[in-house]
Structure 1
């Protein structure tokens, strides 16, 4: 399936093909694709922990292929169901027959693997005399499995050992349990960004600025001159000429600038 006709599991099928083409022997993978396209794979069956198929070879016999994966425990499945039940978008998609790619991330968060990360995650067996890993018959079975996932991605769940009806029932049940759903939602939520302290309104204005506590002294480097300390209140508003304090005290030099900054309208305001 391609384009607008792509099924709900098209992304999962693509990922499985990418794993096969990346990790498998190129020649065997190419021949396995030809076998799959020619209809050599039959009796593909998914059961807990294993996908089996029969693949016709160049001889008059067919070979039995097995694709074995590890099974999660019951507690992990319950955690997954609570997580999915707490997320309205995922829950609605699953119950409507959808299978969004973001589901893979939910599996990862609760410690489950939805798709094999590599061929090393799947134990591949074939009754043929080829010791390739995978052989062309197993490669053909994987291609057909990927094609089947396009329209029926819940086969992945059944391969991992959970009947689809049980998983969907658990998701519905979790959605009706507010406490469990809230806990699962909190586990999946992104951590909040650290807040920024609000300024103290009682310390506003120029006077409050100069009453702020001193910053700690910077670390002293060998041979470096001592840091210049800024201290002291600004000149009074009735000074004869605040723009010319007539001294070298940094506090006095900075006071007129600070007065301009805190004036309504900012430094560009009209007098």
Structure 2
């Protein structure tokens, strides 16, 4: 008897991975990517063999056509059959009340707001979501639904597992996909965060203005001073009328490199496989370091008069603040 057996499907040679397949290099290189994979493996369960085969599929580039939109992930995985398998992962979206409380909690912490606006994910951010009644990471099987068109009855099958690992690497590159998977885009979260922060920062100023207005209700408004420009000549055209205050500049190295590139994201016309931040970050970092060295009047390696003796390394001078007096 040929064809499908009672307990297994006939083994056929696997088709080669497609040219446009996504080859996973290493997933979980960031804390949020690692946390995502741990949550998925804990929630999905499944045997270690299928998970291992899923990682092999992900590294071989068998997952392709990955789309992430509003809590749902769709992809195709090329296996042994001519037609790729269709995979979908659906994560339960957080309701509006949870999002409102979470954004207020993030806005209340200046460090969280600064890191998010710089394109990074605060390490304890899920504490804010837990306090709001939700979580960025799936905690139960009811929050995560998976489907695959393959005949394997395993849950998860290797095709679903491969998609999870590819998704984990995508999260390493863009932590804001965590928000997308829970129902809010990066733009929606950052706009709401800026709005809450703006209202909170403007409130003290409004209260102070109202108090000053009440204090001067019966007082006469001060007169607007008149300005009489002096006689201008060619010699004193650009000379200040009085000494300018001293200017102080800081040239400390940034703690996070490429944050602005990650926040800007990829333009619509970008067609390269790697993100602009990955491509442009190294030359931008080198240029910024060269500019900082010039501003601090430090000699670079190429300008140094002599190299340090072999076996000894020159200590890098600490970053310092430069105070420059303006010309008078």
> Does the TM-score normalized on the shorter chain lie above 0.5?
yes
Bigger mean CA deviation after superposition, 124-133 or 9-18 = 9-18
Q: CA deviation at 1:76?
A: 2.0
Which structure dedicates a bigger proportion of its chain to helix? 1
1:15 to 35, 48, 52: 35
CA shift, 1:121, in A, is 3.1
- The CA distance in 1 between the partners of 2:40 and 2:119, in whole Å, is 26
Match of 2:181 among 159, 167, 170: 159
Distance 1:136 1:8, change over 3 A: closer
- Hey, what does 2:154 align to over in structure 1? 132
Conservation of the 8 A alpha-carbon contact between 2:27 and 2:33: no
Q: Structure 1: give runs of 5+ residues left out of the alignment.
A: 1-5, 183-271
* Cα distance in 1, alignment partners of residues 188 and 154 from structure 2: 37
Select the residue among 166, 172, 182 that pairs with 1:144: 166
The within-5 A match list for 1:1-271 is 10-22=30-42, 23-119=45-141, 121-178=143-200
TM-score computed with the length of structure 2 as normaliser: 0.50
In the aligned structure 2, how far is the partner of 1:43 from the partner of 1:114?
24
> C-alpha separation between the residues in 2 aligned to 1:25 and 1:7?
19
Flag the structure with more relative contact order, 1 or 2, with Cα contacts below 8 A and sequence separation at least 6.
Answer: 1
Aligned to 1:195: none
Conserved? CA contact 2:27–2:34, under 8 Å: no
Say what the alpha-carbon RMSD is for the aligned residues. Answer: 2.5
Gaps of 5+ in 2: 1-25, 205-328
In structure 2, C-alpha distance between the alignment counterparts of 1:8 and 1:91, rounded to whole Å: 24
What CA deviation, in whole Å up to 9, does each residue of 1:245-269 have, x standing for no partner?
xxxxxxxxxxxxxxxxxxxxxxxxx
Deviation at 1:43, TM superposition (A): 1.2
- Cα distance, 1:150–1:71 mapped onto 2, change above 3 Å: same
TM-score by length of 1: 0.60
Secondary structure of 1:177 counterpart:
helix
